[in-house]
């Protein structure tokens, strides 16, 4: 059973609700692919899932689609509307979809309320946090109440880049937000969480990082040497903390990247993701998973990555194929 933990969904009403939060943005950018809750889009999505052998998608918003913004009323309305729409889709297709709850950040009290509603009332499997909120890392102290709530529930946080070029003109001026910036965001949130010692403070949270953690698998030894020189009060070496996290397989088919992550983290810390529908511009949805079977890994580890890690991490024990 393949559970795609990194699948985006943008209900029509949600796109309209977040429009004031992203003035000037082209929110129709993904609509050439089936990513809304229009009936035709849902039917096409289900067909693609069947073709790919994907039993279930776990839904969340893509970069630039989180319900984040300075205006609290707009953010809260968008988050509630999106979460309600996702919950309705899960209720309609309980064997096909689950959802992460999205939060109206940076409004902490409202976000904690929405988190409780999402997990406790709507039955969502975890929380989606985009890596920064109005250019503040979500590892900053003001976001700790979110970690505390998830920790109390023994839940999952699925992080996602926000495509801001990591606030660097060295990225944005060269048009590298997607090609490089998102991988740097992935790596940055891992290291921010390590620096803040959040995984050792909140040991009940399962942290899921997208895109194999960007360059993190290549850096573990370097981090133990150089990161530790700057952060002397860590509870454990950075490589140990980095191995507490789970990482999705979105790698644009790179065998080298998956081999490196497998070596760094182990098959039981890798789980399937597609970045649906973003990669449909480059390859079929089925291909987003089938390439993993062609990587030079032990067959048991490929099965672990594709079929076993995600149901355990997401606690889908009662899930039926
Ligand atoms: Zn994505």
pLDDT tens digit at each of 321 positions of the chain: 899 999 999 999 999 999 999 998 888 766 679 999 999 999 999 999 999 999 999 999 999 999 999 999 999 999 999 999 999 999 999 999 999 999 999 999 999 999 999 999 999 999 999 999 999 999 999 999 999 999 999 999 999 999 999 999 999 999 999 999 999 999 999 999 999 999 999 999 999 999 999 999 999 999 999 988 888 889 899 999 999 999 999 999 999 999 999 999 999 999 999 999 999 999 999 999 999 999 999 999 999 999 999 999 999 864 433
User: In the structure encoding, which two tokens stand for residue 260, read together?
Assistant: 């490196």
Contact by Cβ (8 Å): 320, 95: yes
- State the distance from the centre of ligand 1 to the C-alpha of 273, rounded, in angstroms: 9
- State the distance from the centre of ligand 1 to the C-alpha of 187, rounded, in angstroms: 15
- State the distance from the centre of ligand 1 to the C-alpha of 244, rounded, in angstroms: 21
Whether the bond into 144 is cis, omega within 30 of 0: no
Alpha-carbon torsion angle 19, 139, 116, 277, nearest 10: 50
Task: Report d(CA 241, CA 193) in Å as an integer.
Answer: 9
- State the distance from the centre of ligand 1 to the C-alpha of 65, rounded, in angstroms: 10
Which position has the token pair 């660097």? 168
Q: How far is CA 315 from the centre of its chain?
A: 16
What is the maximum span of the chain, computed from C-alpha positions, in angstroms? 55
- State the distance from the centre of ligand 1 to the C-alpha of 69, rounded, in angstroms: 19
Whether the bond into 106 is cis, omega within 30 of 0: yes
- State the distance from the centre of ligand 1 to the C-alpha of 6, rounded, in angstroms: 6
Whether the bond into 277 is cis, omega within 30 of 0: yes
Task: Report d(CA 245, CA 248) in Å as an integer.
Answer: 10
- State the distance from the centre of ligand 1 to the C-alpha of 250, rounded, in angstroms: 9
- State the distance from the centre of ligand 1 to the C-alpha of 163, rounded, in angstroms: 10
Which position has the token pair 């050439």? 32
The confidence score (pLDDT) of residue 19 equals 95
């Amino acid at each position: 059973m393949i559970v795609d933990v990194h699948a985006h969904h943008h209900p029509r009403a949600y796109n309209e609700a977040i429009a004031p939060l992203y003035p000037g943005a082209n929110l129709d950018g993904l609509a050439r692919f089936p990513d809304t809750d229009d009936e035709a889009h849902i039917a096409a999505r289900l067909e693609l899932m069947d073709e790919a052998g994907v039993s279930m998608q776990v839904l969340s918003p893509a970069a630039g689609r989180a319900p984040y913004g300075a205006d609290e009323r707009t953010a809260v309305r968008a988050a509630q509307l999106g979460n309600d729409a996702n919950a309705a889709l899960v209720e309609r297709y309980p064997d096909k979809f689950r959802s992460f709850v999205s939060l109206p950040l940076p409004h902490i009290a409202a976000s904690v309320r929405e988190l409780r509603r999402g997990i406790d009332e709507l039955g969502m499997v975890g929380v989606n946090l985009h890596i920064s909120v109005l250019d503040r890392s979500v590892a900053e102290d003001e976001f700790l109440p979110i970690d505390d709530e998830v920790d109390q529930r023994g839940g999952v946080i699925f992080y996602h880049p926000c495509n801001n070029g990591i606030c660097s003109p060295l990225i944005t001026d060269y048009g590298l937000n997607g090609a490089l910036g998102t991988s740097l965001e992935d790596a940055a949130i891992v290291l921010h969480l390590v620096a803040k010692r959040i995984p050792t403070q909140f040991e009940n949270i399962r942290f899921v990082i997208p895109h194999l953690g960007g360059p993190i698998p290549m850096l573990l030894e370097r981090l133990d040497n150089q990161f530790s020189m700057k952060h002397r009060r860590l509870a454990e070496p950075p490589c140990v903390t980095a191995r507490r996290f789970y990482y999705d397989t979105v790698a644009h088919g790179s065998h080298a990247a998956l081999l490196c992550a497998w070596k760094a983290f182990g098959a039981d810390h890798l789980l399937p993701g597609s970045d649906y529908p973003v990669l449909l511009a480059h390859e079929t949805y089925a291909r987003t998973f089938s390439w993993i079977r062609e990587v030079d890994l032990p067959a048991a580890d490929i099965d672990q990555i594709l079929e076993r890690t995600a149901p355990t991490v997401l606690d889908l024990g009662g899930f039926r194929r």
